[in-house]
Structure 1
Amino acid sequence: MLFRRIVYWVSGRCLHWFYREHRVVGYGKVPTSGPVLLIGNHPNDLPDVISGLYLSPRHPRYIATVSVTTSAMARAMYESMAVIPVARVRDARKMKAEGVDLAAVNQAANDTVSAALASGEVVAVFPEGGVHDVPQIGRLRTGVAKMILGHLDAGAKNDVTIVPFGAQYEAPRRWGSDTMTVLGEPWTARAWYEAQPAEHRGLAALTDRLRESLLSVTRNSASWEEGDTRDEIVAAAAAATAPHDPLDAAAGMVSHAAAVAANAHSGGVWPQTVRLKTASDALARAVERAGGIGSSAVDHALLLFALEIQVGKRPVSTAALLAGVPAAAIGWLVHAPILAVVNAVAKRIAKDRVDFVPSCFVPGLYLVLLWWVLVSVLAAVGMFAVGIGPWWALPLLIALPRLGDLAIAWRQRFVGWRLVRRVQRWSTSDRMALRDAATVVRETATQWKALP
């Protein structure tokens, strides 16, 4: 249990040091008792897993591939987090060479899942069967549906609540971007089963139902970072309708965004769509020019504040920013070198795009821990040299993570403050043009929210 708490603490640090804001939308939808199956999309590897840890006070038992347990630390983490290991077909050759029985591993996993659900635990799984490096939902494996049907067959009164969650990213591999995890509406497997005609109770039908659940909580746009039309529309409309909480507003608008984007490309049936696309594109370019992220709802809300259109998501005041300089300066003096090393190492060892963030987290974690120890040892040596007790370095070691938190938080607030100041210095004509665009977004987004 102690090791699990440490994992949660470290995981939270990784998530919040890399991403500017992480929001859970719909917290509280996971039942407080009884068997629960959390199903999620899997576009960004380790951050998706970490995000799932904070969806409920109840600890989720992930179903994860056994192929990553190649080190003692990974095995210890699997054990402490009560992970249920499974073997993938793609790993069969490697596992066979290592003398591992793939069939036995998967049978043990099925037995463990059945026992966990029977005892009322929370089990989490990614039905896509692996990392799917795009915002759209990929083809789901039938294994999860088979597992659910097997659970229902285990007893007449047996049931399981299924809760979908969607990991949504503004720019998944960019430091300082936003991420949120959206929980969907729970539904019970037995209620679904009993409502279906006998011929529609099979694996294919249940897999389709799981896919529908995931579609309700994910973005399903064409790309992440390439200025996708749908992402920009969602960001601009969310900021215009709820600048006080644009991430939550963005989650609420996702269900309409696909139709809006499709209409924008086709000239569509909704006359305001093309105007909304044009206006949101202009706002997205302005956000990029000001140093934010073009598809970020938070940055769009800051842009509206800078244009004096709406008051909601506002940057930190200049006085508060200056007051935080001393602590942030110390934090960055200590952490900037090692974070630069972590970024460089991650870029070097990542085999493809989706490996970058996990490489920042896992090797990066070891590097940061070693760096903290090294800084503390050097501080102890320096204290001893000037006649101060070296044991004073121990409080420094304890304080280093908090100094890192302060440094990261200050930088994130500075980025928002800088964006607003840059916009306020733009020419009157530029700002008027953006105000016109924001007005279009606000008016059409209000109509958009009223769509069925």
Structure 2
Amino acid sequence: MASLGVGVYAARMLFRRVVYWVSGRCLRWFYREHRVVGYGAVPLSGPVLLAGNHPNDLPDVIAGLYLSPRHPRYIATVSVTSNAMAKAMYEAMAVIPVARVRDARKMKAEGVDLAAVNQAATDAVLAALAAGEVVEVFPEGGVHDVPQIGRLRTGVAKMVLDHLDAAAENDVTIVPFGHQYEAPRRWRSDLLTVLGTPWGVRAWLASQPADQRGPSALTERLGESIRAVTRNAESWEEGATRDEIVAAAAALRAPRDPLGAAPGLVPAASAMAADAHGDGPSPLAVHIRPAAHALAAAVERAGGIGTSAVDHARLLHALGVHPAGAPVPSIALGLAVPVAAIGWAVHAPVLPLVHALSARRAKARVDLVAGCFVPGLYLVLLWWLVVALLAAVGLAVAGWSPLWAVLLLVTLPRFGDFALGWRDRLGAWRFVKRIHEWSPPECERLRAAAAVIRGWAITL
């Protein structure tokens, strides 16, 4: 029996590594870069609650796997386990299933006891915290596709307080995180995840009046810490303006690492984007907002993303404002063509098909990327098998051993990685080349706009 238990544990760990590898491919193939700021915020031991925002469905979950060297246990809705493959993945990842009130009627029809599911989830969370594990959760209770953080549910706070009320030996450390998408549903955009300052629940309770230590007060404190690491705006228009300012200022302040510089600029940029009250915007905002919009429009015209700090850094390089941000030399791109051509020859038929099918099937905006991951992943795997089978047939006809097709199957993901990386570098080279073709007066106007942003950014 002991050997059987060891075998099951080993199989689960192996499958977990496979899930991590597959999840990494999904992120890598849709987003150009996923950067984590504050990676060391999660303590290496003791119970931890990782709490963050949930604006983009499945990508939020996958990105959350890479915030700490410690494996997190997710709290997820039970509805996602209806798919056999998803259920197997969630079991391997030790996900804690919960039921939503809006699913109650459907679950009742299927003979599922909602109260029993949620009680089991509470017991599992308490056991995880008592064992000193990391539990990751989205306190909004679901995907929240609006510019602001939604109203947080009190269920998470109740679980934490129940753990401490049970005479727990260890405190619970809260680590807030925020997924900051520059263009959440645009292929080859960037994703930034920011981890905030950890804080202990017991220390917070000790600092509160006796009547301010309940689940509602703790939920409010949790919301404050999450808002500190996310991007919030009153409207979509204000959010776009804010992110244009962030991208331009980050590229000017840290052209070699613009994505990493972006989080610290969000509060000031938010204030600048919202500065339209009273008698009108301040004289400073009158200059900053149009300058940022002009630079963002130039980035879009050159083929980039107007809210991307990385693309803004390339724009500044092309304009001669800063030497950093240079693309890969054309000779290096040329030398890499043979390997990239193999990767694209294999993947070009399937990747656009995955995106097109997801866009067609999506019932809401947040379904687009999730659809590219699942069932898009199944389609890619099926395509790889077809390619390997065709290669085996070709090898057999040529008198070679068909087993060489197994080697091809194993290396196909790496060819995909290389092809996408090569495409990104080619896109950067073309991006800069287009800007070099613009007229001198137009480039001078953009340099003037950059100077306006620089004057504001250096004062922050």
TM range, smaller chain: over 0.9
Q: SS where residue 104 of structure 1 aligns?
A: helix
- Residue aligning to 2:80: 68
Residue 200 of structure 1: how far off its partner (Å): 1.2
Q: SS where residue 175 of structure 2 aligns?
A: strand
Residue 457 of structure 2 is aligned to residue 445 of structure 1: yes
Residue 375 of structure 2 is aligned to residue 363 of structure 1: yes
2:329 to 317, 333, 339: 317
- Residue aligning to 1:196: 208
User: Which AA in structure 1 matches 2:231?
Assistant: R
CA contact (8 A) 1:267 1:274 kept: no
- Residue aligning to 2:159: 147
2:265 to 236, 244, 253: 253
Q: SS where residue 164 of structure 1 aligns?
A: strand
2:431 to 405, 412, 419: 419
Residue 353 of structure 2 is aligned to residue 341 of structure 1: yes
Residue 321 of structure 1: how far off its partner (Å): 1.3
**Counterparts of 1:134 and 1:253 in 2: how far apart (Å)?**
21
CA contact (8 A) 1:346 1:360 kept: yes
- Residue aligning to 2:36: 24
1:299-340 CA-partner distances (Å, limit 9, x unpaired): 111100111101222211111111111111111111010112
Instruction: Report the aligned-residue RMSD.
Output: 1.5
1:109 to 112, 121, 137: 121
- Residue aligning to 2:198: 186
**Counterparts of 1:269 and 1:435 in 2: how far apart (Å)?**
24
Residue 352 of structure 1: how far off its partner (Å): 1.2
Residue 269 of structure 1: how far off its partner (Å): 7.7
- Residue aligning to 1:351: 363
Q: Aligned pair in 2 of structure 1 residues 20, 402: CA closer, same or farther (>3 Å)?
A: same
- Residue aligning to 1:378: 390
Between stretches 45-54 and 220-229, larger displacement belongs to 220-229
**Counterparts of 1:316 and 1:227 in 2: how far apart (Å)?**
32
CA contact (8 A) 1:342 1:367 kept: yes
CA contact (8 A) 1:164 1:213 kept: yes
Q: Aligned pair in 2 of structure 1 residues 37, 201: CA closer, same or farther (>3 Å)?
A: same
Aligned pairs for 1:210-221 within 5 A: 210-221=222-233
CA contact (8 A) 2:238 2:274 kept: no
Q: Aligned pair in 2 of structure 1 residues 99, 77: CA closer, same or farther (>3 Å)?
A: same
**Counterparts of 2:281 and 2:57 in 1: how far apart (Å)?**
38
1:131-153 CA-partner distances (Å, limit 9, x unpaired): 00123201111111111211121
- Residue aligning to 2:45: 33
Q: Aligned pair in 2 of structure 1 residues 326, 346: CA closer, same or farther (>3 Å)?
A: same
CA contact (8 A) 2:31 2:187 kept: yes
CA contact (8 A) 2:393 2:402 kept: yes
TM-score (norm 2): 0.95
Aligned pairs for 1:261-410 within 5 A: 261-263=273-275, 271-410=283-422
CA contact (8 A) 2:147 2:239 kept: no
- Residue aligning to 2:4: none
TM-score (norm 1): 0.96
Unmatched 5+ stretches in structure 2: 1-12
Aligned length: 448
- Residue aligning to 1:85: 97
**Counterparts of 2:235 and 2:419 in 1: how far apart (Å)?**
31
**Counterparts of 2:373 and 2:167 in 1: how far apart (Å)?**
42
- Residue aligning to 2:60: 48
Residue 256 of structure 1: how far off its partner (Å): 2.2
**Counterparts of 2:242 and 2:408 in 1: how far apart (Å)?**
47
User: Which AA in structure 1 matches 2:245?
Assistant: I
1:379-423 CA-partner distances (Å, limit 9, x unpaired): 110111121211111111111100000111111111111111111
CA contact (8 A) 1:42 1:132 kept: yes
Between stretches 388-397 and 251-260, larger displacement belongs to 251-260
Residue 192 of structure 2 is aligned to residue 175 of structure 1: no
**Counterparts of 1:167 and 1:129 in 2: how far apart (Å)?**
16
User: Which AA in structure 2 matches 1:329?
Assistant: A
- Residue aligning to 2:5: none
**Counterparts of 2:289 and 2:277 in 1: how far apart (Å)?**
9
The percent identity for this pair of structures is 69
Q: Aligned pair in 2 of structure 1 residues 224, 44: CA closer, same or farther (>3 Å)?
A: farther
Q: Aligned pair in 2 of structure 1 residues 172, 97: CA closer, same or farther (>3 Å)?
A: same
Unmatched 5+ stretches in structure 1: none
**Counterparts of 1:239 and 1:267 in 2: how far apart (Å)?**
32
Between stretches 222-231 and 338-347, larger displacement belongs to 222-231
